[in-house]
């Protein structure tokens, strides 16, 4: 019965969303991920995330922050340092069951060549070539709270969380967009089992673009046969991400956390493992081996895709590729250092993106042992 209700829910969501017009792959910089721990696990953390980074992954996980405050910083370079991606977040418990979080991320590409003024009056003038930057920002304010359960137990918890977000996107002096939306998440943990559900862009996120072009710049678009950009509204449709994780106690001081997440999208056919015009499912798999809650080794798989042929259609050879991720972490009292390396593109051995992150716990409370 529960499975039938879940299928019905997805079908209703899909039918409602297909009735709207939206661009596929909108606000993709918000789907990259944050935190080297998450990258190392193939971004499969919706069920297990329990720290300051939960405001991005699943705001319900903020309710499990036990420190007086947490801070997180991340920096990474993409595409051989062409793009830079940064993230900063903070979390603060404000009452017995509630935690407030704020976070900010920035993705930017600098020194993009602008050739709109290269030709003037039929003459080529290379001195008129300029550069510009394309920068995307997102600001989150998150809140999470535990839900009181009738069956009181130290081995289980249920929580919910919400993350309203403000988006600002800039493309040189030509275009600027403001966007608004919200994410909603729930988590349930019982002993070694962890379950999570992230409803990303649950409100549908709206980006309103304002275009500023001079008449001479519009002329270049016209003469080269390109469409002149105009003011528009870009929609990011909801994405549903359920996750489940289990922590194995494989030795006295050694644990193994295994998690899988499934990204359900409804904005048109995508090149993912399960692909259709109405519903697409993109899985993420992650493992984390921990020793003494101090040293961690991680691995993950994401971006499972079928190779496209030269016409951008799925190859009949049915050749699949995936993105392997690897990472390590060190936890020392109030400081956690994480590193991850990921592969981009179809070449699985081209590990060319390095992610570093730091997490700081402030005024750490003494742990209470539960027997």
For residue 222, what pLDDT is reported? 74
In this structure, the number of other CB atoms found within 10 A of the CB of residue 282 comes to 21
pTM higher than 0.85, yes or no?
A: no
- What is d(CA 74, CA 315) in angstroms, rounded to the nearest whole number? 37
Instruction: Judge contact between 301 and 261, C-beta under 8 A.
Output: no
- What is d(CA 188, CA 126) in angstroms, rounded to the nearest whole number? 60
300-331 pLDDT, tens digit per residue, is 999 888 876 655 555 555 678 888 899 999 99
For residue 50, what pLDDT is reported? 95
Site of tokens 């991680």: 298
Q: pLDDT band for position 342 (50/70/90)?
A: confident
- What is d(CA 112, CA 210) in angstroms, rounded to the nearest whole number? 20
3-state helix, strand, coil in the chain (%, to 5): 15, 55, 35
How many CA atoms are closer than 13 Å to the CA of 145, on its beta-carbon side?
8
246-291 pLDDT, tens digit per residue, is 999 998 899 999 999 999 999 888 888 999 988 999 999 999 999 9
Tokens linked to 2: 């529960």
Domains of the chain by start residue, with CATH? 2-362 (2.40.160.40)
Cβ neighbours of residue 347 closer than 8 Å, sequence gap 6 or more: none
Cβ neighbours of residue 262 closer than 8 Å, sequence gap 6 or more: 241, 242, 243, 281, 282, 283, 284
Burial classification of residue 311, based on how many CB atoms lie within 10 Å of its CB (0-12 exposed, 13-18 middle, 19 or more buried): exposed
Per-residue DSSP letter, 31: G
Instruction: Judge contact between 179 and 205, C-beta under 8 A.
Output: yes
87-135 pLDDT, tens digit per residue, is 999 999 998 889 999 999 999 988 788 777 676 666 677 777 788 888 9
For residue 252, what pLDDT is reported? 87
For residue 216, what pLDDT is reported? 74
End-to-end CA distance of the chain: 37
Instruction: Judge contact between 41 and 286, C-beta under 8 A.
Output: yes
Of 8-22, 82-96, 173-187, which gets the smallest average pLDDT? 8-22
Q: For the chain, give the percent of residues with pLDDT over 90.
A: 52
Residue of 185, 242, 239 lying closest to 53 (CA atoms): 185
For residue 172, what pLDDT is reported? 85
Mean pLDDT on 332-355: 73
In this structure, the number of other CB atoms found within 10 A of the CB of residue 81 comes to 10
pLDDT above 70: residue 142: yes
Q: pLDDT band for position 5 (50/70/90)?
A: very low
Q: pLDDT band for position 231 (50/70/90)?
A: confident
Cβ neighbours of residue 12 closer than 8 Å, sequence gap 6 or more: none
For residue 15, what pLDDT is reported? 41
pLDDT above 50: residue 347: no
Q: For the chain, give the percent of residues with pLDDT over 70.
A: 82
For residue 3, what pLDDT is reported? 44
| Residues pairing with 285 in the sheet | 260, 301
């Amino acid at each position: 019965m529960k499975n039938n209700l879940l299928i019905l829910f997805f079908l209703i969501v899909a039918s409602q969303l297909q009735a709207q017009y939206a661009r596929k792959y909108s606000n993709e910089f918000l789907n990259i991920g944050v935190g080297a721990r998450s990258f190392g696990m193939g971004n499969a953390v919706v069920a297990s995330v329990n720290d300051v980074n939960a405001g991005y992954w699943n705001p319900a996980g903020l309710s499990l922050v036990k420190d007086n405050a947490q801070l997180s910083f991340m920096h990474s370079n993409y595409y051989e340092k062409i793009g830079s991606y940064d993230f900063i977040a903070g979390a603060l418990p404000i009452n017995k069951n509630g935690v407030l979080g704020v976070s900010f991320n920035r993705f930017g590409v600098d020194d993009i060549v602008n050739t709109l003024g290269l030709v003037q009056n039929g003459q080529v003038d290379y001195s008129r070539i300029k550069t510009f930057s394309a920068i995307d920002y997102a600001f989150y304010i998150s809140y999470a709270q535990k839900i009181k359960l009738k069956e009181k137990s130290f081995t289980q918890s249920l929580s919910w969380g919400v993350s309203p977000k403000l988006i600002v996107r800039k493309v040189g002096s030509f275009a600027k967009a403001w966007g608004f939306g919200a994410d909603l998440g729930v988590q349930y943990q019982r002993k070694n089992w962890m379950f999570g559900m992230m409803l990303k862009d649950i409100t549908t996120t709206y980006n309103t673009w304002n275009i500023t072009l001079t008449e001479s710049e519009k002329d270049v678009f016209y003469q080269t046969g390109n469409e002149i950009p105009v003011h528009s509204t870009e929609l990011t449709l909801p994405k549903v991400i359920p996750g489940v994780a289990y922590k194995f106690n494989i030795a006295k001081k050694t644990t193994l956390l295994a998690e899988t997440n499934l990204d359900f999208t409804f904005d048109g056919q995508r090149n993912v493992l399960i692909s259709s015009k109405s519903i697409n499912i993109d899985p993420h798999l992650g493992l984390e081996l921990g020793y003494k809650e101090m040293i961690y080794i991680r691995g993950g798989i994401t971006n499972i895709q079928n190779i496209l042929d030269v016409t951008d259609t799925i190859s009949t050879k049915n050749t699949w590729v995936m993105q392997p991720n690897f990472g390590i972490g060190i936890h020392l009292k109030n400081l956690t250092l994480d590193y991850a390396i990921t592969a981009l593109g179809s070449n699985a051995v081209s590990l060319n993106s390095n992610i570093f992150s730091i997490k700081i716990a402030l005024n750490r409370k003494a742990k209470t042992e539960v027997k």
